[in-house]
Structure 1
């Protein structure tokens, strides 16, 4: 796909469908035998599903912001989270999609560098790309990026302008071609 070609936008606009995916993730967490003490929403995309999951499981929620890419901001919070896991606190990170794996790998690397206890961490996403370079523990829907080139537009993103959505999609053309 060229930089100028229009991406195939796929709006996940039906609240009931989104809620069903969140409930599926919550059931998977409950049935896994591993219950977190905190749900951590990964900003921006993971914040909304994390809020729902924290309510569904009646667990407190924390948030970190990786998407703003403000130097040191997410890193400082992740250092605190790493210390919590090292002290034995079980933490579930929630994001909207594991596409390339870049966000989750960044978080894992930083947590490891800060001495976290990996056994106290789990990662859950609404959509998981089986071709991602990193694995997650739980997901509601599996896709294969070799076959599925849609750009997923989650309900909280759909309020943005079409131009901003297309611009974001075109900023990572390797996911679309």
Structure 2
């Protein structure tokens, strides 16, 4: 895709659809063998679904703002979370989409290097890319990024300007084709 080509924006803006996805993901979580003790929202995109899932499952929620890319900020919190995991706490990280896998891979690596117990860690997303380099154990919808080049615009992003959404989509051209 050229820098000037318009990305295919796919708005997921209907509250009822979002709520249905969150409820389905919550049922998958609560119906599984592995039960979390904490929900951890990965900022920015995972914070809204994490809040809903936290309420749905009546579990406490923590948040990690990985997206701001403020040096050391998220890493310090992730090291504390790794300590919780090492003490036996089961942690479910929630994000909106597992696209390239970069966020999940980064978090798993940092946690692993900080003493995290891998059996106490899972990831849940609303949309999972089958081509991702990282695994999200729980998800609602699945796409194949080689075939599906849509840029998903979640309800909390839809309030932004179209220019800002297009700029963000263009910032990762390898996802758009």
TM-score, L = length of structure 1: 0.99
Deviation of the 1:127 alpha carbon: 0.3
Worse overlay, 147-156 or 30-39: 30-39
* Cross-structure match for 1:128: 128
* Cross-structure match for 1:4: 4
TM-score, L = length of structure 2: 0.99
* Cross-structure match for 1:52: 52
**Whole-Å separation in 2 of the counterparts to 1:6 and 1:165:** 11
Partner deviation per Cα, 1:52-71 (whole Å, 9 max, x = no partner): 00000000000001000000
2:109 is the alignment partner of 1:89: no
Q: Figure out how many residues of one structure are paired with residues of the other and give that number.
A: 177
RMSD: 0.4
* Cross-structure match for 1:110: 110
2:133 is the alignment partner of 1:148: no
How do 1:161-176 and structure 2 match up within 5 A?
A: 161-176=161-176
**Runs (4+) off by over 2 Å:** none
Where structure 1 has 5 or more consecutive residues not aligned to the other structure, the ranges are none
Deviation of the 1:14 alpha carbon: 0.6
Partner deviation per Cα, 1:60-116 (whole Å, 9 max, x = no partner): 000001000000000000000000000000000000000000000000000000010
Deviation of the 1:34 alpha carbon: 1.4
SS at match of 1:18: helix
* Cross-structure match for 1:33: 33
**Whole-Å separation in 2 of the counterparts to 1:161 and 1:152:** 14
SS at match of 1:126: strand
SS at match of 2:149: coil
SS at match of 1:127: strand
**Whole-Å separation in 2 of the counterparts to 1:60 and 1:140:** 22
SS at match of 2:140: strand
